[in-house]
């Protein structure tokens, strides 16, 4: 095969280098009654094993009040009470549209939990409350433990106390895929789910244990996931599933629920973030089933974090320190400055997200010197403690209002502005005893959020062993920073432009934008920037070695 350069207008160069609204909530059903586990459970077992039969008001919960006139406060007090009362009435009407009694009971529990969240949101909004920045400090001694200081015995006896839980509620739409994100192929023909199953299966086989694998699905992913996991029925692994809550989206202007009935369109509902795992794990009955089985600890992580594998040292540390909650942290880099960080707030350990930071302190929040760590969302939880805080209604995680819009029903009408009230599992850290962070190596945080991440995990930088990605021992320094442009946003486009993954063992930084196609056997080293100008295409020839270069303009290769 001969290759002809059809166009060579390109350059190759070195880079320069409370308000009280109880009166509005008198009809809030069953708010103070004991919680009872509900029976709707999805479980799958291997034949090898069947399962056995508010805030404390402490100083860390006191917000800063911005000055408001008495008339302003009175107005907001009235508005908040009305909004809460109207929401409660509409939720009751939604419940009346459920015909099946068992389904209605489940739905009412969800709506009661949603109303409690909505009511707190109104309170917070009326107060104009924020964290008092002067009371925020970097974590104190003992609030973060270094991974290298943990005991290195790696006792396997604690594996019998463990379950692994993956957050599996997300879709693959951000990467242009249909269905659950967990089924996207990431390495050697295997999906996120395949890799997780292989890891736990290897663990069970190697140590003669039976660590259960639990998936928290959403209403978006449950049906597909149930069909997909059937292929694992012959494997030595127990797979259990449950659904996180389905909450109604809220109209931003009227603060009323979007859905008109229980069977309203799927677009009228939303999964309320992974902070919902506590309530959903309890209400599904899975929590009690795990405890009855002898499981004491659950290791929770995002399904797309390929670095989140079971670690015996952290497991042993949790058991021996009797900690109820451990958050894995890793050192911040310039790419992580917006990630949530662990802080000391009046002597209490808490999670601080960038959305909670006053504008004048955002740069301070991003400072690697003051806040050195960020949350990987690898969380270790004591199940008895989870049961306690749920039953006692102790969880009051910070609410994250997520503003979105949904398409109008009729052409010519503007989109409808809505708000989703969400919570994060990391925000629950302050509600558990002896909760702290462990500063772990970067290898335990390997998320795949974009096709840039996909290129990294598919490359020669990593090898696959028993479902775990292991970085090449000859690699020096952290993983390279890879930025692919919008032409590579969808997996299908990524595969079209990069049919063969380049070698990047010695790469530090890669940026590719525009219509760029990579040939087979391409190698990148150092810093490589490739920019195809608008209306142009750059074809990188097969076998090319690019090291510390900028490629810009247009370059077409024709086969003949």
Reported as a single tens digit per residue, the pLDDT across 403-462 is: 999 887 777 678 899 999 999 999 999 999 999 999 999 999 999 999 999 999 999 999
What's the confidence (pLDDT) of residue 8? 42
Strands (DSSP E) contained in 426-521 are: 436-439, 462-465, 468-471, 481-484, 503-513, 515-518
pTM equals 0.85
Q: Which domains does the chain possess?
A: 22-35+54-127 (no CATH), 133-247+270-394+428-444 (3.90.550.10), 450-559 (2.160.10.10)
Cα separation, 421 vs 252, in Å, equals 11
DSSP 29: T
**Can you point out the beta strands (E) in 209-290?**
213-217, 239-243, 247-248, 250-251, 269-270
Q: Tell me, what DSSP letter sits at residue 447?
A: B
Please provide the distance, in angstroms rounded to a whole number, between the alpha carbons at the two ends of the chain: 7
Give the distance, in angstroms, between the CA of residue 334 and the centroid of all CA atoms in the same chain: 20
* Paired residues of 484 in beta bridges: 512
- CA 361, 363, 367 angle in degrees (round to 5)? 115
Query: Which one from 35, 104, 338, 449 is the annotated catalytic residue?
Result: 449
Q: Which of 319, 359, 335, 325 is nearest to 427 (CA)?
A: 325
pLDDT computed for residue 429 by the predictor: 97
- CA dist 378 and 445 (Å) reads 8
C-alpha–C-alpha distance, residues 371 and 355, integer Å: 15
List of E strands, 292-435: 297-302, 325-331, 341-345, 348-352, 373-382, 400-406, 416-422
- 75's CB contacts (< 8 A; 6+ apart) are none
- On the 0-12 / 13-18 / 19+ scale of CB atoms within 10 A, 436 is buried
Tokens of residue 314, six digits: 């952290």
Give the residue from 281, 305, 301 showing the smallest Cα distance to 446: 305
Question: What is the rounded distance in angstroms from the CA atom of residue 84 to the CA atom of residue 125?
Answer: 13
Write the CA distances from 356 to 137, 143, 324, 421, integer angstroms: 14, 21, 25, 15
Closest by CA position to 63, among listed 121, 127, 134, 131 = 131
The CA distances from residue 17 to 107, 336, 523, 548, in Å, are 58, 22, 20, 9
- Per-residue pLDDT, 337: 77
Residue 33 DSSP label:
S
The burial class, CB within 10 Å (0-12 / 13-18 / 19+), for 151 is exposed
**Is 449 assigned a catalytic role?**
yes
The pairing of beta strand 348-352 with beta strand 341-345: antiparallel
* pLDDT beneath 50, residues of the chain: 1-11, 14-34, 36-67, 560
Predicted confidence (pLDDT) per residue in 509-539, tens digit: 999 999 999 999 999 999 999 999 999 999 9
């Amino acid at each position: 095969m001969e290759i002809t350069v059809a166009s060579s207008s390109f350059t190759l160069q070195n880079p320069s280098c409370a308000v009280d609204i109880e009166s509005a909530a008198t009809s809030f059903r069953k708010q103070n009654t004991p919680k009872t586990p509900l029976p709707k459970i999805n479980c799958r077992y291997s034949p090898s094993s069947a399962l056995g039969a508010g805030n404390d008001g402490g100083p860390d919960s006191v917000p800063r009040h911005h000055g408001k006139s008495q008339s302003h406060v009175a107005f907001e007090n009235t508005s908040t009470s009305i909004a809460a009362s109207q929401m409660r009435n509409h939720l009751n009407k939604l419940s009346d549209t459920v015909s099946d009694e068992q389904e209605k009971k489940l739905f009412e529990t969800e709506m009661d939990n949603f109303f409690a969240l909505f009511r707190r949101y109104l309170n917070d909004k009326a107060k104009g409350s924020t964290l008092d920045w002067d009371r925020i400090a970097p974590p104190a001694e003992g609030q973060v433990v270094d991974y290298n200081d943990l005991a290195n015995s790696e006792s396997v006896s604690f594996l019998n106390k463990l379950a692994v839980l993956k957050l599996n509620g997300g879709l693959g739409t951000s990467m242009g895929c249909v269905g659950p994100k967990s089924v996207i192929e990431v390495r050697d023909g295997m999906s996120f789910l395949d890799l997780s199953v292989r890891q736990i299966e290897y663990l069970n086989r190697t140590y003669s244990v039976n660590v259960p694998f639990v998936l928290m699905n959403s209403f978006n992913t449950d049906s597909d996931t149930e069909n997909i996991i059937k292929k694992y029925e012959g494997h030595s692994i127990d797979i259990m599933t449950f659904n996180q809550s389905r909450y109604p989206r809220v109209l931003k202007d009227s603060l009323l629920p979007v859905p008109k009935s229980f069977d309203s369109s799927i677009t009228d509902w939303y999964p309320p973030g992974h902070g919902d795992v506590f309530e959903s794990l309890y209400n599904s009955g899975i929590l009690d089933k795990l405890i009855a089985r002898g499981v004491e600890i659950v290791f929770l992580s995002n399904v797309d974090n390929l670095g989140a594998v079971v670690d015996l040292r952290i497991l042993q540390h949790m058991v021996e320190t009797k900690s109820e909650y451990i958050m894995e942290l890793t050192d911040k880099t310039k790419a992580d400055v917006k990630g949530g960080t662990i802080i000391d707030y009046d002597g209490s350990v808490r999670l601080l997200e960038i959305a909670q930071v006053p504008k004048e302190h955002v740069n301070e929040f991003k400072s690697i010197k003051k806040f050195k760590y960020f949350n990987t969302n690898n969380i270790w939880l004591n199940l008895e403690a989870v049961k306690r805080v749920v039953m006692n209604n102790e969880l009051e995680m910070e609410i994250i209002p997520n503003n979105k819009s949904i398409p109008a029903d009729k052409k010519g009408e503007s989109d409808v502005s809505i708000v989703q009230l969400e919570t994060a599992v990391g925000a629950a850290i302050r509600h558990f005893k002896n909760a702290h962070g462990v500063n772990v190596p970067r290898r335990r945080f390997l998320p795949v959020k974009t096709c840039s991440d996909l290129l990294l995990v598919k490359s020669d930088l990593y090898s696959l062993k028993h479902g775990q990605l292991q970085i090449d021992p000859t690699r020096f320094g952290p993983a390279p920073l890879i930025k692919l442009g919008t032409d590579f946003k969808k997996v299908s486009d990524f595969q079209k432009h990069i049919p063969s993954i380049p070698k990047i063992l010695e790469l530090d930084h890669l940026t590719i934008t525009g219509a760029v196609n990579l040939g087979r056997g391409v190698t990148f080293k150092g810093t490589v920037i490739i920019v195809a100008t608008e209306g142009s295409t750059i074809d990188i020839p097969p076998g090319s070695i690019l090291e510390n270069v900028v490629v810009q303009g247009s370059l077409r290769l024709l086969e003949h």
